[in-house]
C-alpha cells in the first residue's frame, strides 16, 4: 500500500527536478542566427558595421509563461559565419571581424565572437573564436536581440553579400 505514494512522489521529484536540466538542453540546442548584409559599396581596409536582429527557434527566454527562470549563466559556446547569398562567397574577402550582442535598443552590448587574420582562401564558412567571459542572461531574455558585426574587408564584392551568423548558447540549470 505504501509503495504507490512513494513511487509517485519519486516520479514527481524526478520530473520537476529535471525541468531545469531539460530547459538548459533545449535553450542550448537552437542557436541565435542573424543575417548580415555587406553592401557592394563597402570600402576595403576600413572598419565597417552591419546590424541585424538575432532570432532563435526557441527564442522565448522570458520568465513569464515558460521555464526560463530555471536556467542561468547563459554564455556563447560556439560561433560560425557562413555565406548565404551568394552561397559560394569567399569569406576570405573579409580580413577580420568582431561580433557583438546587445539589447534591441543597442544597450548592454558585449563582444561574443572575434576572428582576426582570416585566411584569404577560407571558403564559404568559418568558425569564429568565442568570447564567453560574459553572462548573457539579461540579453537573451529581451524581446529582441541585436547582433552587430564590425568587419574589415580585404577585397570588395561585386554585389551585396548576405552572411549568416550562428551563435550557439549554453546555460546551466538554476537552483
The rounded percent of the chain whose pLDDT value lies above 70 is: 73
- In this structure, what C-alpha cell is assigned to residue 41? 559599396
pLDDT score, position 11:
63
pLDDT score, position 138:
78
Question: pTM, whole model, 2 decimals?
Answer: 0.78
Strands (E), the chain: 32-38, 47-54, 71-85, 94-103, 110-115, 125-127, 129-130, 145-153, 161-173
Instruction: List the chain domain ranges.
Output: 3-173
**CA 25, CA 10: separation in Å to the nearest integer?**
22
For 46-103, write each residue's pLDDT tens digit: 999 999 998 876 555 444 444 456 667 788 899 999 999 999 999 999 999 999 999 9
pLDDT score, position 70:
63
pLDDT score, position 63:
45
**CA 8, CA 150: separation in Å to the nearest integer?**
55
pLDDT score, position 61:
45
Which fold is adopted by the domain 3-173?
Jelly Rolls (2.60.120)
pLDDT score, position 39:
95
pLDDT score, position 139:
79
Does 124 score more than 70 pLDDT?
yes
Amino acid at each position: 500500500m505504501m509503495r504507490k505514494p512513494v513511487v509517485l512522489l519519486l516520479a514527481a521529484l524526478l520530473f520537476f527536478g529535471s525541468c531545469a536540466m531539460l530547459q538548459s538542453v533545449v535553450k542550448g540546442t537552437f542557436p541565435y542566427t542573424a543575417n548580415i548584409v555587406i553592401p557592394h559599396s563597402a570600402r576595403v581596409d576600413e572598419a565597417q558595421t552591419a546590424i541585424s536582429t538575432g532570432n532563435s527557434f526557441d527564442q522565448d527566454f522570458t520568465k513569464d509563461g515558460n521555464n526560463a527562470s530555471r536556467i542561468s549563466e547563459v554564455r556563447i559556446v560556439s560561433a560560425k559565419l557562413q555565406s548565404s547569398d551568394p552561397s559560394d562567397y569567399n569569406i576570405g574577402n573579409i580580413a577580420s571581424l568582431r561580433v557583438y550582442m546587445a539589447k534591441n535598443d543597442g544597450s548592454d552590448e558585449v563582444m561574443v565572437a572575434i576572428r582576426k587574420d582570416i585566411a584569404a582562401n577560407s571558403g564559404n564558412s568559418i568558425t569564429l573564436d568565442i568570447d564567453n567571459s560574459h553572462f548573457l542572461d539579461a540579453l537573451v531574455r529581451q524581446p529582441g536581440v541585436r547582433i552587430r558585426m564590425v568587419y574589415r574587408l580585404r577585397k570588395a564584392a561585386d554585389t551585396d553579400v548576405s552572411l549568416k551568423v550562428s551563435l550557439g548558447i549554453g546555460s546551466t540549470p538554476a537552483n
